[in-house]
Amino acid sequence: MSEHIFKSDVLVIGTGVAGLSLSLYIDRKVSINLITKSDPEDSSTFNAQGGIACVTAVEDSFEEHIKDTITAGDGLCVKKVVETVVKDAPQRIADLKKWGVEFTGGCENPALGREGGHSRRRILHYEDRTGEEIGRKLLSSALSSDNTKLFSHHTVVNLIINKGRCRGAYILDNRTLKVKTFLSRITVLATGGCGKVYLYTSNPDVATGDGIAMAYRLRARIANMEFIQFHPTGLYSAKEGSFLITEAMRGEGAVLLNAKGERFMKKYDPREELAPRDIVARAIDSEMKKTGSKFLHLDIHSGHQPQFIKNRFPLIYSKLLSLGIDITRENIPIVPVAHYCCGGISVDDKGCTSIEGLMAVGECSFTGLHGANRLASNSLLESLVFGYRAARAVPGLISKVNIIDTKPWKYTGKRLPSEQIFIEYNWQALRRLMWSYVGVVRSDMRLAEALKRLKIIEREVDYYYWNYLLTPQLVEMRNLIDVSRIIIKCAMKRKESRGLHYNVDYPRKNPEFKKNTYIRK
């Protein structure tokens, strides 16, 4: 075998909870190459603060969790999928405990949090760093498995297609800048979201929509990409690029204040701070525009003693204290941030895409669970449930498939770009463009202008892609452009306001658009 060709039964791209749980659920006789473009801990999973939703309290029920999910989804959830995920949750939580995951309050009687859109306390959490706890335990278990080999600092460039089937991927070694060929019987995209298309986001730098963009270029079916969830409370700070203030803080009674120091949520929704995220984000956006404020405030200190705040939110407390903000005495400056992609690569109930040999799990996939708006803390749960379901399907899918050799990557450029400033400039231009024209509030004119300006950025990036050697930044920039185009085109198709998509030209829901938005390249 060539030093640049790697073969495995399954190629898993991504080391968040979706990719790691799938790897752990797969039969140990199946060989796995696990790819991550940075360190394996660099993912949205490891950044997740709030927790994972699951019915455990005696006063709670599957029916209530299902109802809350469907209500948040604003008419577009697939009920069968919601029922499957909610009812499968207890067993998947048991699996987490088997892998060593701990929850605050203990596994037998965990302390349950409550977040926006939930009618009950049902959020299992580990302090305010649940994702880190889950991610570390799953990563440790996956790396101890003999059938799994990890390749860190490897950026996927393109998927390989042969006779209508996905056969693996061409992957750039970030350190050597050589493109390697990874061949497999099944390829699984677990690449996470696309928050970095926006100026303000809670997502890590790796969230550049790679899986969605690559599947799109392969002509896979993509769905509902207009539904980008903006988390109402990201930290507004010149010192910190992105840091999320968990919704669990509002679940514990924190209140939002406008520039005048007044509570305002009652004007927008009777549930006030515990309304679904789309409503809260638009309310904050509206209040900011009324006064021209760059940020609003979140107050947790007025309703709680300092020790409670330190014990319940130790990560947020210590992080903000390092930035000069003592949340036991001071309000937190906040701004809405791009947080979660409710659309993605369309998959069936086993995680299979419309391309043979290609699966997708986690945030990059579209299962029908979230509809037009994700209910808080359902994302880690979805990743676990579909990681399990996809893994159970893998043995049957690979049983009659052979690995087929393919041509090595063809280098179209012979030298590196002499300057990187064009990447940085276009990165900033794209993110500002998407924030200004395709953000919390949209209009037909803004969307048309965004598409026009995107084409200008695309032409310059395209020239560098075909005429120079690849760098990770260039690959990511190309993916960001593709994902931005998908978001814009999906938004242009939806002539109404529903869930996370709000267009001032169509401020109400339209029964004609109570359906999913599908798009292909």
Residue 99 lies in a domain: yes
Q: Do 184 and 120 sit in the same domain of this protein?
A: yes
DSSP string covering 322-335, please? HTT--TTTSPEEEE
Q: Over 70: is that where the pLDDT of 271 sits?
A: yes
pTM for the whole structure: 0.91
Q: Is 145 exposed, middle or buried (0-12, 13-18, 19+ CB in 10 A)?
A: middle
Owner of token pair 């392969």: 218
Which residue has better confidence, 79 or 248? 79
The pLDDT, as a whole number, for residue 413 is 84
- The model's pLDDT over 276-335, given as tens digits with 9 standing for 90+, comes to 888 899 999 889 988 889 899 999 999 999 999 999 999 899 999 999 999 999 999 999
Where a domain ends, among 302, 320, 339? Answer: 339
Cα separation of 35 and 159, whole Å? 13
Residue 277 appears among annotated catalytic residues: yes
- The model's pLDDT over 93-113, given as tens digits with 9 standing for 90+, comes to 999 999 999 999 887 788 998
Q: Over 60: is that where the pLDDT of 1 sits?
A: no
Q: Do 164 and 50 sit in the same domain of this protein?
A: yes
Residue 42 lies in a domain: yes
Instruction: Determine the longest span between alpha carbons in the chain, in angstroms.
Output: 67
Q: Do 174 and 26 sit in the same domain of this protein?
A: yes
Which residues lie closer than 8 Å to 173 by C-beta, 6 or more apart?
A: 153, 154, 179, 180
Q: Do 175 and 50 sit in the same domain of this protein?
A: yes
Average pLDDT of span 120-144: 92
Q: Do 280 and 213 sit in the same domain of this protein?
A: no
Which residue has better confidence, 415 or 215? 215
Q: How many domains does the structure of the chain reveal?
A: 3
The pLDDT, as a whole number, for residue 3 is 67
Q: Do 219 and 248 sit in the same domain of this protein?
A: no
| CA-based nearest residue to 440, from 326, 514, 336 | 336
Residue 238 lies in a domain: yes
Residue 468 sits in a domain whose CATH number is: 1.20.58.100
Catalytic residue among 92, 122, 277, 442: 277
Where a domain ends, among 339, 365, 388? Answer: 339
| CA-based nearest residue to 367, from 191, 223, 500 | 223
Q: Over 60: is that where the pLDDT of 126 sits?
A: yes
Coil, helix or strand for 9? strand
Residue 348 lies in a domain: yes
Residue 124 lies in a domain: yes
Q: Do 192 and 249 sit in the same domain of this protein?
A: no
Average pLDDT of span 179-185: 97
The pLDDT, as a whole number, for residue 45 is 86
Please report which helix (H) or strand (E) contains residue 285, including its range.
Answer: helix 277-291
Q: Do 94 and 153 sit in the same domain of this protein?
A: yes
Residue 416 lies in a domain: no
Considering the chain, what percentage of its residues have pLDDT values greater than 90?
82
Q: Do 389 and 467 sit in the same domain of this protein?
A: no
The pLDDT, as a whole number, for residue 275 is 87
The pLDDT, as a whole number, for residue 2 is 61
- The model's pLDDT over 386-440, given as tens digits with 9 standing for 90+, comes to 999 999 999 999 998 999 889 899 888 888 877 678 888 999 999 999 998 999 9
Q: Do 54 and 123 sit in the same domain of this protein?
A: yes
Q: What is the span of the domain harbouring residue 488?
A: 421-501
Q: Do 81 and 161 sit in the same domain of this protein?
A: yes
Q: Over 70: is that where the pLDDT of 43 sits?
A: yes
Q: What is the DSSP letter of 407?
A: P
Where a domain ends, among 318, 339, 360? Answer: 339
Q: What sign does the CA torsion over 413, 416, 420, 424 have?
A: positive
Residue 116 lies in a domain: yes
Q: Do 271 and 372 sit in the same domain of this protein?
A: no
Residue 20 sits in a domain whose CATH number is: 3.50.50.60
Name the least confident of 354-368, 401-415, 471-485, 491-505: 401-415
363 pLDDT band (50/70/90 cuts)? Answer: very high
With b for 16 or more beta-carbon neighbours within 10 A and e for fewer, the 358-382 pattern comes to bbbbbbbbbbbbbbbbbbbbbbbbb
Residue 299 near residue 254 (C-beta atoms within 8 A): yes
Average pLDDT of span 7-35: 96
Residue 35 near residue 12 (C-beta atoms within 8 A): yes
Residue 333 lies in a domain: yes
